[in-house]
Each structure stands twice: as structure tokens, then as C-alpha cells.
Amino acid sequence: MSESVVFETSLGDIQLELYWNHAPKLSKRGYYNGVIFHRIISDFMVQGGDPTGTGRGGTSIYGQKFEDELHPELRFTGAGILAMANSGPNTNGSQFFLTLGPTPYLDGKHTIFGSAKGRRQNTQIKSCLNVPNTISLMRKYIYSGCLRHPRGETQQKHYFR
């Protein structure tokens, strides 16, 4: 069973499925409200999760860096893979990224904890977020909310502003 969240951006909503069974630490809490995608690299990825908005800050929901949750069956196969940004093994903080295409060279190096739901979502991610790397003009604010609890309980969709 997985949990779903919505990233509401200034260029459209992105619905993501969280991999509760593979990355329970990253999937069990909501943490990203009002943060921006601070780094955009065309045809590669968009990165967010830094509460300072600079790409240099951000602590984890645990207040410190935490270990990777790597699983060989989770791979960077295309657009819409949600993973933790890090500076090496077991250095996860608050920052995450969404891929804009296949990135197999990242397999086994970053904790994958979700993906866009459906082919339509992948197309939307690429069209919404695959833009020139012009950070000052392309900040995309994120608001997230739980859509479905991993135990199957339906919850009301919320956007936090």
C-alpha cells in the first residue's frame, strides 16, 4: 500500500505515490510546505526541499542527517522518480529531487521514495518543470497534502498555504 501526496506548483499539480514499504521514514510525515524548486536542470531533474530556498540549507525532519533507504528494485527509469538529494552515503537532509528523464547512473546512490502517478503525470512534470535553468523566474512553490493513508484510510485532500 502506498501513500499519495500532491505537489501544488505554480505551473500545475503533480500527484505522487510514496513508497511506504521501501522508505517508511521518508513517507510517514509531511514536511514540505511553501518551499520552492530551487534548482532546475533541463532534461535531468528539479530539486527542492530547502526551507531557505537557496539550495544550501535544510535539516531533515529528524533534525540531523539520516541513513539511506536503498532498494535494488527501485531504479531511476524515467521522468517522475522522487528521491532524496545527498552529498554521499547516509547524508540525507531535507532536499529532494524529481527526475525529468531516465538517470540510471543514480541507481543505488539516492533513496527513491516515490514516483509520479501515471504516464499523464510524467508528461505533466516534463512540461511543467523542464524549463531553462533560470531560477529567479522559475520558482515553483510546493504545497503538499496526504490523499490516501498507507493503511487504506481515505483522508481529505489538503493544501497547506
106 is known as an active-site residue: yes
158 is known as an active-site residue: no
90 is known as an active-site residue: no
39 is known as an active-site residue: yes
Task: Catalytic residue, from 97, 122, 124, 129: name it.
Answer: 97
Contacts of 20 (CB under 8 A, 6+ apart): 1, 2, 3, 27, 28, 150
In eight-state DSSP terms, residue 44 is T
76 is known as an active-site residue: no
Task: Catalytic residue, from 7, 47, 95, 100: name it.
Answer: 47
Contact 146, 53 (CB under 8 A): no
47 is known as an active-site residue: yes
Task: Catalytic residue, from 39, 82, 100, 124: name it.
Answer: 39
Cα four-point dihedral sign 63, 74, 50, 119: negative
56 is known as an active-site residue: no
Task: Catalytic residue, from 96, 98, 110, 113: name it.
Answer: 110
Cell numbers 481515505: residue: 154
Task: Catalytic residue, from 11, 15, 33, 44: name it.
Answer: 44
Give me the active site residues, please.
39, 44, 47, 86, 97, 106, 110
